[in-house]
Amino acid sequence: MFARKHHNSNVSEADFCTVKRIAASVLLCVAVTTTSAHLAKQGQQIAAQGTSQGVAACISCHGAKGEGMGAFPRLAGTGEAYLLAQLDAFAIGARKNPIMQPIAQGLQPAERQAVAMYFSQLQAPLLAVDLKQPLTSDTGAWLATRGRWADQVPACTQCHGPGGSGVGAPFPPLAGLPAAYIAEQLQAWKAGNRPPGPLALMAGVAKKLSDAEITAVAAYYEKIALPKRTGIPDVPRAAGAPGVMNPAAPTQTKGAP
């Protein structure tokens, strides 16, 4: 009799502990979700209106939905970690840009995170597919999809994914960015005017490309992107949901992520 009561007491205690763990997990999820929602809302406000401290609205240069305008790269669908890293780099001066540096420096760390989160949750407006059978005479397509291994130049797709769609936080998408913007980034790496990135890969690659090859690769990635038929949604997608692609790194002389 006593043994049975003791056994039931143990089971009850174990169940109680399980319930407590579940409740704690639920509360944590709710807290994270609430915080994320607040940051995204704050980011949307900064993107649309700027700040009371004089920081300009992001949409002034990057488009109403972060789709990019002219030489200004799009932000919609960019990975949050990548965007935040770029804003932080501008803020501390690791990346030089006469437009983006004062903007990033005018934002508090939490505001930079909010902006990055907001744009990362917007659906990217473009789709892109690599040429399946590029000709060797098509320098841009060949380097993008095949590389030049004799000189240890990997194909762009090795890191940036098929169609320049981007892979993880370190390797942003390239497709659909202005050719002049992509070329400027490659020239900046080539000249040592931009941080080299993970494992100094981009600096090493860029230094092995001629100016003509840089122009060709940049033109290739600009032209392979096609607008999505569904257009750009008016509201952010759910946090953590995968986008179609993410934009590449910010430009040196134009506004950038």
Q: How many CA atoms lie within 13 A of 237 on its CB side?
A: 18
> pLDDT band at 251, cuts 50/70/90?
very low
Q: Looking at mean pLDDT, say which of 57-61, 159-163, 228-232, 248-252 comes out highest.
A: 57-61
Q: Note whether 174 and 223 are same-domain residues.
A: yes
> For residues 135, 138, 142 and 144, what is the CA-based torsion angle, rounded to 10 degrees?
-140
Asked whether 140 and 216 are in contact (CB, 8 A), the reply is yes
Q: Note whether 33 and 139 are same-domain residues.
A: no
Q: Note whether 30 and 107 are same-domain residues.
A: yes
Q: Note whether 120 and 240 are same-domain residues.
A: yes
Averaged pLDDT of the chain: 82
Q: Note whether 194 and 80 are same-domain residues.
A: no
What Rg, from alpha-carbon coordinates, does the chain have? Answer: 23
Q: Note whether 136 and 89 are same-domain residues.
A: no
Kindly give the residue spans of alpha helices, DSSP state H, lying in the chain: 2-49, 59-62, 80-92, 100-105, 109-120, 139-145, 157-160, 179-191, 201-206, 211-223
Q: Note whether 108 and 27 are same-domain residues.
A: yes
Q: Note whether 39 and 66 are same-domain residues.
A: yes
pLDDT of residue 169: 81
The span from the CA of 25 to the CA of 27, in Å, is: 5
Reported as a single tens digit per residue, the pLDDT across 105-159 is 999 999 999 999 999 999 888 878 888 889 999 999 999 999 999 999 999 999 9
The span from the CA of 69 to the CA of 61, in Å, is: 6
Q: Note whether 116 and 138 are same-domain residues.
A: no
Number of separate domains in the chain: 2
The span from the CA of 160 to the CA of 234, in Å, is: 27
Look at residue 253 and tell me whether its pLDDT is greater than 70. Answer: no
CATH number of the domain within which 90 lies: 1.10.760.10
> pLDDT band at 168, cuts 50/70/90?
confident
Distances from the Cα of 27 to the Cα of 31, 182, 239, angstroms: 6, 44, 18
Residue 257: how many other CB atoms lie within 10 Å: 32
What domain range is 94 assigned to?
A: 1-50+57-125+235-257
Average pLDDT over residues 39-58: 96
pLDDT of residue 52: 95
Q: Note whether 205 and 253 are same-domain residues.
A: no
Q: 131 or 184: which carries more pLDDT confidence?
A: 184
